[in-house]
Homo-oligomer: A and B are copies of this chain.
Amino acid sequence: MSAATRLDPDLSQDILVVRPSKWTLVVVVQLRSGTMRFNELRRNMGGVPQKSLSQTLRELERDGFVTRTAYATIPPRVDYDLTALGRELLDLADQFHLFAQRNREAVVEARRQFDALDIRPA
């Protein structure tokens, strides 16, 4: 592949634009199907602390991956959406996810074997 030739070795520390938090890609994946509201995301993400979600969304908004639309109604309503850039990030998240699905078993097995050999009996 030609990817190698275009990669700057000196930038190897800068492989990521942003240092994704634990929840970053999860949010991006959640927003695949379109607009979602705060608590809707929260519910679908199984036990993410409010603060973590809030921070993650703010970061994603700040970096241009997500739009935040607030309606001045009572009760308030805030919609989150992916931007075009966010959808590119989603593509990347998908590739990671597919990689994980393809190789989870292999990794788990490698880990099991390694651990079996690595034990130094007292």
Contacts and interface: CB of A to CB of B under 8 A. Distances in A.
Interface of A: 1, 3-4, 6-9, 11-19, 22, 25-26, 29-30, 32, 44-46, 61-64, 85, 88-89, 91-101, 103-104, 106-107, 109-111, 114-115, 118
A17 B9 CA distance: 25
- What is the oligomeric copy number? 2
Contacts of A97: 7, 11-12, 14-15
Given A1-B94, A7-B97, A11-B100, 4 more contacts: A12-B30, A13-B46, A62-B114, A64-B107
A16 B92 contact: no
Chain A to chain B: the 4 pairs with minimum beta-carbon distance, closest first: A64-B110, A3-B94, A62-B114, A17-B100
